[in-house]
A and B are shown apart, each in its own frame.
Chain A
């Protein structure tokens, strides 16, 4: 069985400060891990994915995440928040060899203050 836990339901940062969105996963298999972003009235957009290659994954819009197997974590970071980053973020785990079974976390709402 696979699951993810997003440790914060809401994160608030000031524009220009670092962003950290935390995600822990549980997987019986070698996992694939993803971060998706959902802006209001928009579809889910892939930010980045980990698929057993480099443990530090760079994504779009300056986001990156580090896969830490010992900690079963895949936290999302960005050095400097922008107002346009305000959205809902979802951490997702799937079996590396069966992407049909994708398990989403409950989401973290990121607020960016001016």
Chain B
């Protein structure tokens, strides 16, 4: 399977703990996106990378959140001092750098539950 993969698929953590999620994009895609999806809502943009550069961050991305893409391939999203409000599905997507409009290809997501 050459699609976007995310690990883990599910994570249960206690409030105050740190968690880290990983996303592996489609190999030839140089843009990578992170979204958060809460129950009954559509995905909300968090941040995106072009290669290793983080080019945009949403105001939803508080200072407890950090994302990296050190070698322009896989990316990690870390949440420090988790809160119950962080419980959500975290989605990763990638897209190729081509001229014109291109779609984003999504991974299956990581479901985070903060108890």
Binding site for B on A (CB under 8 A): 9, 32, 34, 36, 41-46, 49, 51, 90, 92, 96, 99-107
Q: Smallest distance from the beta carbon of B26 to chain A beta carbons, Å? A: 12
A42 to B107, CA, bound (A): 8
Q: Tell me if A49 and B109 are in contact (CB < 8 A).
A: no
- Chain B residues engaging chain A, CB cutoff 8 angstroms: 3-4, 31, 33, 40-45, 48, 55-56, 91, 93, 95, 100-109
Beta-carbon contact of B109 and A100 below 8 Å: no
* Distance between Cα atoms of A103 and B95 in the complex (Å): 16
A101, B33: Cα distance in complex, Å: 10
Q: Are B41 and A44 in contact (CB under 8 A)?
A: no
Q: Which residues of A contact B55 (CB under 8 A)?
A: 100
Judge whether A32 and B101 touch: CB under 8 Å.
yes
Asked whether, in the complex, the Cβ of B106 is within 8 Å of the Cβ of A44, the reply is yes
The residue in chain A whose Cβ has the minimal distance to the Cβ of B56 is A100
Residues of chain B within 8 A (CB-CB) of A92 are 42
